Amino acid sequence: MKTDGSRKVSAGIAGEVSDEYKENFFEYKTISPLLAAQVGTLASLLGYDYSVYQGQREGREPTYRVRFVSGEGKRGGRHVSFEARLHERDAQDVWMYDVECAGIHNFVCGVGNVVAHNTNEPEYQRLKNNEFMEALRDRTVKIDVPYVTRLRDEIKIYEKDFNPERVRGKHIAPHTIEIAAMWAVLTRLEQPKHANLSLIQKLKLYNGKTLPGFTEDNIIELKREAPNEGMHGISPRYIQDKISNAIVAHQDEDSVNPFMVLHELESGLRHHSLITNQEQLQHYPRAAVRRPRGVRGRSEE
């Protein structure tokens, strides 16, 4: 569209499209991804179908071309099909707590008004079973992102927040973070079918430890037997909250030990929104521990 309001269809398609298409054709170019997204939103509000194209320019910022028309026919009208194209990206030593756009920290991904957000599996299943959410379900593409099942990776998540630089005036006893991380990972693992393998041993195998009689091929087979592993269990956010509770709850103590954190982890399960019956509760680790002399924990309620 020109400044006087007239439209000019590109020469490549001018001879192939209808007069109706020419009348409704609109194309906008910009180097601002935010502005392109806003134009796309306006097109949606006006009832137009539109496409967004990104043009790469060497040494310069990419351009965004928003094109939309209304009417019937191949080059206009409402599309009835949707194809999801997902792009993998190699990432190492990168931790992500929320799916968000870099820089602007929101959940609108790209320029096509695609909303990307993370949720828990039970909440998603609840959405699927809600008969009033049919329109949203039809527009939702589910991508499974399981919780961490390797102990050393889980430990790194908590070490970022609970370390001497971040926690002042309270000593975190050795193995406290490790025990909390182990507890979390155990809630996400499925009981092994191998008769001579315990859940703790399975956790150790996943963490790279070697056990007699088990090879790399056995570990691959264990993961194949449990394709949904990591899709259920306790989230890192729950663990972080309970470690924080243990630090705050014991004002008279100058340190936090594994027994205090385990107490918070277990007592919090009774009020967890995702645990609705006793059978679910039995799946979570129970630490029948005795506190050594001289180590005090929070009084039992």
Q: Please check whether residues 165 and 70 belong to one and the same domain.
A: no
**Based on the structure, what is the number of domains in the chain?**
2
Segment 208-261, tens digit of pLDDT? 998 998 888 988 999 999 988 988 888 898 999 999 999 998 878 889 999 999
Q: 291 falls in which pLDDT band (50, 70, 90)?
A: very low
The CA-based angle 57-22-29, given to 5 degrees, is: 25
Strands 26-30 and 49-57, by their bridges, are unpaired
Helices (H), the chain: 11-14, 19-24, 33-45, 121-128, 134-138, 151-159, 176-188, 199-206, 216-225, 236-249, 258-268, 278-282
242 assigned to some structural domain:
yes
Q: Please check whether residues 248 and 162 belong to one and the same domain.
A: yes
How confident is the model over 121-148, as a mean pLDDT? 79
Q: Please check whether residues 190 and 71 belong to one and the same domain.
A: no
4 assigned to some structural domain:
yes
pLDDT computed for residue 272 by the predictor: 72
The residue from 65, 86, 107 where one domain ends is 86
Q: How far apart are CA 211 and CA 66, in angstroms?
A: 58
Question: Is pLDDT at 288 greater than 60 in this prediction?
Answer: no
Range of the domain at 67: 1-86
Segment 26-61, tens digit of pLDDT? 677 888 888 887 887 777 777 677 777 888 888 888
For residues 175-191, one letter each, b for 16 or more C-beta atoms within 10 angstroms of the residue's C-beta and e for the rest, the string is: ebbbbbbbbbbbbbbbe
Higher pLDDT, 238 or 300: 238
2 assigned to some structural domain:
yes
* DSSP string of 204-247, one letter each residue: HHHTT---TT--HHHHHHHHHH-TTTTSSS--HHHHHHHHHHHH
The residue from 52, 86, 120 where one domain ends is 86
129 assigned to some structural domain:
no
State pTM to two decimals. 0.59
Q: Please check whether residues 240 and 163 belong to one and the same domain.
A: yes
pLDDT computed for residue 301 by the predictor: 36
Q: Please check whether residues 161 and 249 belong to one and the same domain.
A: yes
How confident is the model over 253-282, as a mean pLDDT? 79
